[in-house]
Chains A and B, each alone.
Chain A
Amino acid sequence: MTHVSKRFGRHTALTDVTAMLFAAELVGLVGPNGAGKTTALRVAAGLILPTAGEVSGPPAHAIAYFGGEQTLPADVSARRWAELWNGPWSRLAPRRSFGVLSRGTRQRIGLETALSSPSTELLLLDEPWESLDPDASRWLSDQLIRRRAGGAAVLVSSHRMHELASICDRCLFLSNGRITASVVCPADVSPDERVASLLDAYDRSRANSAETSGGHR
């Protein structure tokens, strides 16, 4: 996306956001609540039209997006939903409706759906580790690494620094609707150092954003 801005009425969700994703790259999107992560992902998925700027990417059928378990229809049977995508895992989905399933089960089924197509070129996931147990978290991280190895570009928003640090090639930091930093996750340092560098970048990004908005006032 290039110079993308998005306004909802008087509220500005994104301001002049420019971000590129390359094939076989796994990128994390980090920022405090309300920073604009969900809006950025939905603009990238083509669900929301930007107020200004341009978004380009692979054809629609090669894009997969999952906005979290709360976006699954509570009154629909999980099995019927899963069968829409004909995945081999659809037989295992419970027949009960999403509304009575645990958040973790809903999240897992939603992720299975988003990851069902092997021809996905751009994978966009909003807080994908939320509500997952450690086994499912590990499964998700493995899947994302596998997708990257298969040539897909993956963008995941999350607050989970440990997960992001362990699998991402780089992280973009979003604050008040602006990209405030882009940090490469070095492969040749320990996991703890990677997490520390991301947390450091997060703090600097927040401080920069506060200064910028202070300067504007």
Chain B
Amino acid sequence: MRPSPIRFLFVVAGPSWGTWTVAAVLVGYGAYLEWLAPAAFGQVLAIAIFLQLFAASTGFRARLRSGHFDPLLVAWPSRWKVAGAHWMVSNAAGWVVWLVLATVELFGHPRQLPSTLVPATVVLLVYTSTVGWALSAVFGRLSGALIWLTTIFALNVMGTLATLRASFIAHPPSAGDMARSILTALAVPPFLVIDPGGVSGAMLTLMGAATALAWILGASAIRLSEAALVQP
């Protein structure tokens, strides 16, 4: 009997106990804030996104070239299917945390739509997860998180981050301003939760399209990776 790709990948490359422990601590912090300082709940979302960047940057090639995926790839020759399963397993921890935080919010404010489930935050989660996963599928484990954080750090050092934030918040009167604000959201997506006033429908649609493109990039990297063994 051959195991399904998702089951196989959960055992071989699924979230570690360390990841689940950090996730549990984060959910505990979320529950604490929801109980004592609900206005500060956004902090938890920002931390969850930051951690998800690392959790989703699982990489593919190192394990592929060590032969860890051999039984999976022999039994399931469709690399697209394998890529889909790898994307889901890589993102699983963050998505579970997100859903648990939504439940915590629902308990705190039963009559309100949880901030974790409004379109902007859902798009933010899926976009950052997918881009982090795709970059690590191309460049290796953790590279997604490191590339992104280095970019944001560099923008901050150059003083560009504040300018970008201003263009994100400004109500864009022209197509040029709108394009700038969308590019800002793509480069620094945490603005979506930090400044929800700057979010627009067009922005979310384009971020959805960017997510799809990132998925195709990551899946193509998985499809084209050569399963030649590299001896340790």
Number of A-B contacts defined by CB within 8 Å: 71
- Say yes or no: is A101 at the interface (Cβ < 8 Å to chain B): no
- Say yes or no: is A42 at the interface (Cβ < 8 Å to chain B): yes
For chain B, the count of residues having a C-beta within 8 Å of the partner chain is 25
- Say yes or no: is B39 at the interface (Cβ < 8 Å to chain A): no
- Say yes or no: is A60 at the interface (Cβ < 8 Å to chain B): yes
- Say yes or no: is A47 at the interface (Cβ < 8 Å to chain B): yes
Question: In the assembled complex, which residues on chain A have CB atoms less than 8 Å from the CB atom of B232?
Answer: 70
Which of the 9-residue segments B24-32, B66-74, B147-155 touches chain A? B66-74
Q: Kindly identify, within residues 47 to 88 of chain A, every residue whose CB is under 8 Å from any CB belonging to chain B.
A: 47-49, 60-61, 63-68, 70-73, 75-76, 80-81, 84-86
Would A64 and B3 count as touching, CB distance under 8 A? no
Q: Kindly identify, within residues 63 to 84 of chain B, every residue whose CB is under 8 Å from any CB belonging to chain A.
A: 63, 66-68, 70-71, 73-77
Would B68 and A46 count as touching, CB distance under 8 A? no
- Say yes or no: is A141 at the interface (Cβ < 8 Å to chain B): no
Would A39 and B75 count as touching, CB distance under 8 A? no
Would A85 and B1 count as touching, CB distance under 8 A? yes
Cβ-neighbour of A46 out of B1, B12, B63, B74 (below 8 A): B74
Q: Kindly identify, within residues 1 to 56 of chain B, every residue whose CB is under 8 Å from any CB belonging to chain A.
A: 1-3, 7-8, 11-12, 16
- Complex formed: what's the CA distance from A70 to B70 in Å? 12
**Nearest residue in B to A39 (C-beta to C-beta)?**
B228
- Say yes or no: is B112 at the interface (Cβ < 8 Å to chain A): no
Question: In the assembled complex, which residues on chain B have CB atoms less than 8 Å from the CB atom of A68?
Answer: 67
Question: In the assembled complex, which residues on chain A have CB atoms less than 8 Å from the CB atom of B170?
Answer: none
Cβ-neighbour of B228 out of A48, A113, A116 (below 8 A): A48
Smallest Cβ distance from B72 to chain A, in angstroms? 10
- Say yes or no: is B231 at the interface (Cβ < 8 Å to chain A): yes
Smallest Cβ distance from B221 to chain A, in angstroms? 16
- Complex formed: what's the CA distance from A74 to B1 in Å? 23
Cβ-neighbour of B66 out of A65, A71, A117 (below 8 A): A71
- Complex formed: what's the CA distance from A80 to B13 in Å? 12
For chain A, the count of residues having a C-beta within 8 Å of the partner chain is 32
Would A60 and B75 count as touching, CB distance under 8 A? yes
Would B66 and A73 count as touching, CB distance under 8 A? yes
Question: In the assembled complex, which residues on chain A have CB atoms less than 8 Å from the CB atom of B12?
Answer: 73, 76, 81
Q: A46-B73, A84-B8 are in contact. Are A67 and B229 (CB under 8 A)?
A: yes
Would A71 and B70 count as touching, CB distance under 8 A? yes
**Nearest residue in B to A80 (C-beta to C-beta)?**
B11
- Complex formed: what's the CA distance from A113 to B72 in Å? 12
Would B229 and A71 count as touching, CB distance under 8 A? yes
Smallest Cβ distance from B6 to chain A, in angstroms? 12
- Say yes or no: is A164 at the interface (Cβ < 8 Å to chain B): no
Would A45 and B3 count as touching, CB distance under 8 A? no
Would B229 and A60 count as touching, CB distance under 8 A? no
**Nearest residue in B to A75 (C-beta to C-beta)?**
B16
Q: A60-B75, A117-B1 are in contact. Are A42 and B229 (CB under 8 A)?
A: yes
Question: In the assembled complex, which residues on chain A have CB atoms less than 8 Å from the CB atom of B11?
Answer: 76, 80-81, 84
Would A48 and B3 count as touching, CB distance under 8 A? no
Would B8 and A46 count as touching, CB distance under 8 A? no
- Complex formed: what's the CA distance from A68 to B231 in Å? 11
Question: In the assembled complex, which residues on chain A have CB atoms less than 8 Å from the CB atom of B229?
Answer: 38, 42, 67, 71
Question: In the assembled complex, which residues on chain A have CB atoms less than 8 Å from the CB atom of B2?
Answer: 61, 85, 117
- Complex formed: what's the CA distance from A76 to B68 in Å? 10
Question: In the assembled complex, which residues on chain A have CB atoms less than 8 Å from the CB atom of B63?
Answer: 73
Q: A42-B229, A71-B67, A73-B66 are in contact. Are A60 and B3 (CB under 8 A)?
A: no
Question: In the assembled complex, which residues on chain A have CB atoms less than 8 Å from the CB atom of B75?
Answer: 60-61, 63
Q: Kindly identify, within residues 163 to 197 of chain B, every residue whose CB is under 8 Å from any CB belonging to chain A.
A: none
Closest 10 CB pairs of A and B: A71-B67, A47-B227, A84-B3, A73-B68, A60-B77, A65-B74, A67-B67, A45-B74, A80-B11, A73-B12
Chain A residues within 8 Å of B, Cβ to Cβ: 8, 38-39, 42, 45-49, 60-61, 63-68, 70-73, 75-76, 80-81, 84-86, 113-114, 116-117
Additional pairs, 6, CB under 8 Å, beyond known A70-B232, A71-B67: A47-B70, A67-B67, A73-B12, A73-B68, A85-B1, A116-B1
